[in-house]
Chain A
Amino acid sequence: MRPDGAPRVLSLFVPALPMQRALRGRSARGPLAVVDQGCVVHCTAPARAAGVRPGDSLVQARAACAGLAAVPLDRAGDRAALEALAEAMLALSPAVEIAPPDALHLDAGTGRGVDAEEERRLAERALALARALGWRGRVAVADGKGPSLALARYGAEALVRVAPGEATRALARLPLQALELPAAMAERLAAVGVGDAGALARLPPETLAHRFGPAGAAAARLARGEDPRPLVPFAPETFPEEAWDLEGTDVGVLSSAEPLLFAVKRLADRVAARLAGRGLGASRLRLTLVLDPRGEERLLVPLARPGADAAAWLVPLRERLGVLRLPAPVRGLKLSVVEAAEVPAEQLAAGDRPEVLRALEVVLSRLAARLGEGALFAAEPADRHRPEAAYRPAPFREDAARVGAGKEGVVASRGARRNGAANGGAAPGLDAAPLAVRPTRLLEPPHPVVAEGEGGRLTALRVDGSAHGVLALAGPERLAGEWWSDPFDRDYYRIRLRDLGDLWIFRDGRDGRLWLHGFFD
């Protein structure tokens, strides 16, 4: 019987993972074998039809099938693929354990108040997610890791769910190898007529423990569906990255933007699924295009806001790929997350318009990708007396779209500027109003202007070679400071010129020259 509170585990088994990995991105289904140390480990159906069998030597296999293509077994690559799948599965379960070489265990609950429908839905979602990432899998939900993995590997169907306490009966029909017994033990059991897990479960546990030691005791427990071992959760250490080597696939090399975008979409879907599993969103991506025969092109793509939505990533990626002029065809791609942040749960307040937020995200991503991040910003007041430094660029945040956002910022910014302005030099008797406002346009750097006058009275100002009569003048407003770094000392005037309008000029205290610094446009 199943003890109360035993972990419910969903095991996802990826049959012939090395072969599936070799076939990812290939649509050709010719005879292919995965080979390790000169022996066939896995082979495709056409190879099998030609007489190739796992365990054959490569020479034997080639003799049976002349057109057999062989790829070497890559354990590190298979492990990385399994980790990537585990990362994506984190979206479905709080804990995922990697069971090398070809399976994962997902925490499906503690077993109290088990909901059969919920477990089945979880299993279906796990299968669907694996399929979306390009894997064909089998799943089983049962009590404990051992029983669920045995059922996933050897169960009659691709999705098996065993009710709590029913594992013994479900396992009974499975062959002995489903329990992954040590080879010597399996042989001895087979020799005495123990052919399946049910026969093993019927043997007295004490006898098995006496005959085979701890391994025998463990086998007896497993055959009876008892496996209280907790999951060992997998914690990814790096940001996800997906690559696709187009060589040897039907896709071949790519040389135009549209097919390239299709290939990028495939990678983006995988990377986004992995990132979403960790509750993270990418804020910066790097797309590496491997060129044929050599060289590579790297594109750093900033995103308007952290997210794990592949469709949103494709907007700036399309912008960048659209203006790409590649010197050579592309034979491989790699999409990596360079920066990521936690994605807060979206809570829409009353008045929020999701369609506007979405449209904003898209247009900001396009602009940032095409013009660069520095080209778009929201200005933020800075507490500096120097006019050209009185504001600084700040990121334009998407939540600015929320109704009422930023109101406090206005009040604060006004206060900051008012307090920051050194309005110490206004002429006595002059209304400060004309000086309090700032020009709508600032020229950076300032343009030199020449004063024309009679008897110490300014009558005209020569701007860009043309003289304009002075109609009125307000000032000066002295702005000075920053003696510790780049000192400045300026007397600012607002001056009204005939045929031109209101200008903001200053007299530089260091040399007395006049400069046009802005327009009250």
Chain B
Amino acid sequence: MVAASRQEELLERLRQQIRRLERRPARREGFLPTGRPEVDALLPGGGFPRGALTGLAGGPASGKTRLALTALREAQAEGGLAAFVDGCGELYPPAAVDLGVDLARLLIVRPGAPARRTEAERAPEPLPGLWAAEALLASGAFAAVAIDVSLGRLPAVRAEAALRRLRAAAEKGGAAGLWLGSADAPRVPAFLRLDLDALARRAPGRAAGAAPDGWTEGGHAA
């Protein structure tokens, strides 16, 4: 009699655990294709790792945003949602459309526009973009999150701590986190870091940085 009641109790506990687990989105694992087969071929696993942070570093026109957008497109193609934390306010959505990104399923977060606050509410944290990125990565609702947030004058220790939190959030939520940073930005505690250089792209038989088809060499058109 006692054994039967214990068994029933155990079963009920297990049922509760299952219910609790079922309420959480399933954790994603593996690698997210970058959307550029030539880049996939260079990466271990053939894409950006899910549940981890990947650093994409490069100059202002190095192609890091384009690579992030194509990866977000791949995440959408798999049925997932994508987010872009646009701390700099520079993302130009028409370019995302050109790359095949479904704008309706791309959440853009621009923390620059603060919520209407009363005097009693504390000033927002110095980098609300980091907080937003952490919330998105940990939520489990997004398959990929691109983060374009300038660390500005944040002290190095705080910046490092914030980035470590981002990495932990990506691990928790299973999202592929893509950190966009300048070439000279502090190192990100990332699983993977890609340094991009736009002018190093070269087609067979063409010098680095040379004009592609449809372009005028030099600048006599202006």
User: Which residues of A are in contact with B by a Cβ distance under 8 Å?
Assistant: 297-300, 320, 323-327, 351, 353, 355-356, 358-360, 362-364, 366-381, 387, 390-391, 393, 396-397, 400-401, 403-407, 409-410, 413-414, 417, 427, 430-434, 436-444, 451, 453, 456-459, 470-476, 493-496, 498-503, 507, 518-521
Contact = CB atoms under 8 A, between A and B. Distances in A.
Task: Please provide the 4 A-B residue pairs with the shortest distance between their CB atoms, ordered closest to farther.
Answer: A431-B214, A501-B61, A458-B219, A406-B104
Contacts, number: 276
Interface of B: 22-26, 58-66, 69, 79, 81, 88-98, 100-116, 118, 120-122, 124, 128, 131-132, 135-136, 139-141, 198-199, 209-222
Given A397-B104, A434-B215, A472-B217, A371 B60 contact: no
Contacts of B220: 456-458, 473
A411 B115 CA distance: 33
25 contacts: A323-B124, A355-B23, A360-B139, A363-B139, A375-B132, A378-B103, A378-B104, A381-B93, A381-B97, A387-B92, A390-B94, A401-B81, A403-B79, A410-B97, A410-B101, A410-B102, A438-B95, A441-B60, A453-B219, A471-B217, A474-B216, A474-B221, A501-B59, A507-B222, A521-B61
B140 A359 contact: yes
A371 B128 contact: yes
A381 B102 CA distance: 11
A447 to B, nearest CB: 11
A500 B200 CA distance: 11
A463 to B, nearest CB: 9
Contact of A474 (B95, B124, B214): B214
Contacts of A427: 216, 221
A60 B54 CA distance: 79
Given A324-B120, A355-B26, A410-B103, A440 B91 contact: yes
A496 to B, nearest CB: 7
A355 B24 contact: yes
A115 B66 CA distance: 64
A366 B138 CA distance: 12
Which among A323, A379, A414, A496 has the greatest number of chain B C-beta atoms within 10 A? A379
B103 A471 contact: no
Contacts of B221: 427, 458, 473-476, 493
Nearest to B137: A363
Which among A326, A391, A444 has the greatest number of chain B C-beta atoms within 10 A? A391
Given A442-B90, A521-B64, A493 B222 contact: yes
Contacts of A376: 107-110
Given A359-B139, A380-B103, A371 B92 contact: no
A371 B132 contact: yes
Which among A325, A393, A407, A521 has the greatest number of chain B C-beta atoms within 10 A? A521
A500 B210 CA distance: 13
A81 B88 CA distance: 50
Contact of A370 (B26, B115, B120, B213): B115
Contacts of A520: 61, 63, 66, 198
Contacts of A451: 222
B82 to A, nearest CB: 10
B60 A434 contact: no
B107 A378 contact: yes
Which among A323, A356, A440 has the greatest number of chain B C-beta atoms within 10 A? A440
A375 B109 CA distance: 6
A378 B63 CA distance: 23
Contacts of B112: 375
